Structure 1
Amino acid sequence: MDQTFLRVSGEEALPEHLRGGVVAIGNFDGIHRGHQAVLERALEEARRRKVPALVLTFDPHPRKVFQPDVPLFVLTPPAVKAELIEALGFAAVVERPFTREFAALSADDFVTSILDERLGISHAVTGFDFHFGKNRQGGPAFLMAAGERHGFGVTLVDAFRDEGAEIVSSSRIRALLAEGEAAEAAGLLGYRYTVEAEVVGGAKLGRTLGFPTANMRLSAEAGLKEGIYAVRFRRADGTLHDGVASFGRRPTVDDNGAPLLETFVFDFTGDLYGEIARVSFFGYLRGEVKFEGLDPLVAQMKRDEAEARALLSSVRPLSELDRAFAF
């Protein structure tokens, strides 16, 4: 059997060797510890049945379709989500385009055309509150009854609660990141929050100050608190470097600059332009400050570097997923 992880468009035919698998169904924005409880249950069921384990997810996020004028901070764009799913051990992710036409499918049509005919599943695993189909008419009881008719099993996974007995959710994580609480968000994610983007050219001011940066433009909807962070930077070739990053509008040198993630990569010289790189956030150091000139700015940047190096020297992986992404 081909063991290569696949990203399959929801409108493509599923490769034959993946049919008959166990599928975890959900949007899974963040792949946080609650999602991981669902995904691990699917992996266990697939191992028990000796069949492939798949994830069926949707893009864009349904809220972006139904409320397009309301900004939504998406924690894991499709490429990052797929990498997390692969790292967990799945054979494939099926990325179903979410459109108003797709949302208008009846719950019965969703089961028949997607789960049965297109994917040919043997078992479905979802969260206890999963709803689907036009007007969310399909719920857990409907899915279990449909499974009996179509010949597949269904497992429902209860809400996952953290050590404080609170339900882990994507909205909680978005709120923490908006406050700069990177470490607390990592506790709910089970790994350090990570972004991926192309390294682009900048004004090169950092280079003249002795702090050359790798600049990455994130989504305009990124809800990360502006400020300075201790980070790890992973290059396209997989090599990993500690660093310190500024996310914001560079108030000292450019009052009107677009938000940008600028990472000073420690112990690295070379050209990163054009690379698709990842940055993992370990700790929030301080907010942005407008300095009276470049000398005070450079002095603070040296303090930021020292603080980031100290913080990163003592970190340990939170999980195997964290190890795969940030260690």
Structure 2
Amino acid sequence: MRVIRSYHDVAPDDRGAAVAIGNFDGVHLGHQSVIDLARKAGATTGAPLGVLTFEPHPRAYFAPHTAAFRLMSPQARQSRLAKLGVSHLYELPFNEALAALTPEAFAHDVISAGLGLSHVVIGEDFCFGKARAGTAPDLVTYGKELGFGVTVAKLVTAQDAQISSTAIRTALSDGRPRDAATMLGHWHRLEGPVEHGEKRGRELGFPTANMHLTGLHLPKFGVYAVEVDVLTGPHAGRYTGAASLGTRPMFGENTPNLETYIFDFKGDLYGETLSVALVEYLRSEDTFDSLESFIAQMHADCDRARSILSAL
């Protein structure tokens, strides 16, 4: 997948794509339906499939001190979009200049003259341009004037409720990863490099891969049954395990991280990138009267996680 980060001086091979436009945080079923419409539009003319998005997320740009809300990092979003067959990702910097463009200027300068897009697909609630003044019908009008096609996609629902990143965040905050997966169309994943920790798990017989979580919406703290994809290194592959997300109150920690125990695994994962899928919430964080009772609970957690994961 080619990643283009400017709409100025775009190479000829990167012009003419049929694209879906949006933030695509989570790449949920609603996002996937918009991408599929762009795929179909491009198939009629042989145009490559693209996605037009922004970095940082406009919400983070306008409210930089707001609590972390993103479901995935830019790197995880790129990976998910590539799996969907997106060949061109236009990841434009969201900055003062872009935020100041009027709707008409955005349509002309970015979509038409800048990127030379042949067709764009947007959701019916899409807003664009300075102060979000442009609407989906406005973009249809600009497309007719400037020579690019526009498809307005209906919002997608699941279980009679609108699918949205907000609804997915709520499900994760409530400890309902399966409900989140229903809206996402895939397991919610936490992705990042394995970092050195206190190595306390190894001493207890449960060596864990530790990942720091920054800039992301954190699901409900506690213990989860997980699927684990090791994305890099000699141990690349898919595994199962149990993971603890939180601040480790048993040991007086207060910085959130993810500690993943991979079943039946032997090897060094330091520095490798993991993608940990949250399958089922097992229990909340807790403290224990002794290390013996803590270890007994970890054995019980792992037994339950194995049972859940074997039934998938």
What TM-score does the superposition give when structure 1 sets the normalisation length?
A: 0.91
Picking from 290, 295, 304, the partner of 1:307 is 304
The amino acid that maps onto 1:273 is: Y
Contact 1:230 1:308 in 2 (8 A): yes
| Shift of residue 68, structure 1, vs aligned partner | 1.8
Q: Name the residue aligned to 1:240.
A: 238
| Shift of residue 16, structure 1, vs aligned partner | 2.0
Q: Name the residue aligned to 2:267.
A: 270
Contact 2:240 2:263 in 1 (8 A): yes
Contact 1:65 1:100 in 2 (8 A): no
Percent of aligned pairs sharing the same letter: 40
Contact 1:20 1:122 in 2 (8 A): yes
For 1:172-199, what per-residue CA distance to the aligned partner results, in whole angstroms no more than 9, with x for missing partners?
0001101111111001101000111110
User: For 1:287-302, what aligned pairs fall within 5 Å after superposition?
Assistant: 287-302=284-299
The amino acid that maps onto 2:246 is: G
Contact 1:24 1:55 in 2 (8 A): yes
| Shift of residue 8, structure 1, vs aligned partner | 1.9
| Shift of residue 72, structure 1, vs aligned partner | 3.2
Q: Name the residue aligned to 2:250.
A: 252
Matched, 1:72 2:68: yes
Q: 1:268 to 1:13 in 2, by over 3 A?
A: farther
Q: Secondary structure at the match of 1:258?
A: coil
Q: For the aligned residues, what is the CA RMSD?
A: 1.3
1:81 and 1:220 map into 2 onto residues whose CA distance is 14
The amino acid that maps onto 2:256 is: P
Q: Name the residue aligned to 1:15.
A: 11
Aligned length: 309
Picking from 147, 162, 165, the partner of 1:151 is 147
Matched, 1:203 2:201: no
Contact 2:226 2:276 in 1 (8 A): yes
Q: Name the residue aligned to 2:37.
A: 41
For 1:204-239, what per-residue CA distance to the aligned partner results, in whole angstroms no more than 9, with x for missing partners?
110011100000001155321100001111112341
| Shift of residue 110, structure 1, vs aligned partner | 0.8
Q: Name the residue aligned to 1:261.
A: 258
Q: Name the residue aligned to 2:95.
A: 99
Q: Name the residue aligned to 1:184.
A: 179
What TM-score does the superposition give when structure 2 sets the normalisation length?
A: 0.96
Q: Secondary structure at the match of 1:96?
A: strand
Gaps of 5+ in 1: 316-327
Q: Name the residue aligned to 2:218.
A: 223
User: For 1:135-146, what aligned pairs fall within 5 Å after superposition?
Assistant: 135-146=131-142
Moved over 4 A (4+): none
For 1:290-316, what per-residue CA distance to the aligned partner results, in whole angstroms no more than 9, with x for missing partners?
00111001101011111111111111x
Q: Secondary structure at the match of 2:162?
A: coil
Contact 1:233 1:243 in 2 (8 A): yes
1:12 and 1:82 map into 2 onto residues whose CA distance is 21
The amino acid that maps onto 1:96 is: L
The amino acid that maps onto 1:248 is: G
2:254 and 2:266 map into 1 onto residues whose CA distance is 26
The amino acid that maps onto 1:141 is: P
Q: 1:234 to 1:13 in 2, by over 3 A?
A: farther
1:148 and 1:228 map into 2 onto residues whose CA distance is 53
Q: Secondary structure at the match of 1:200?
A: coil
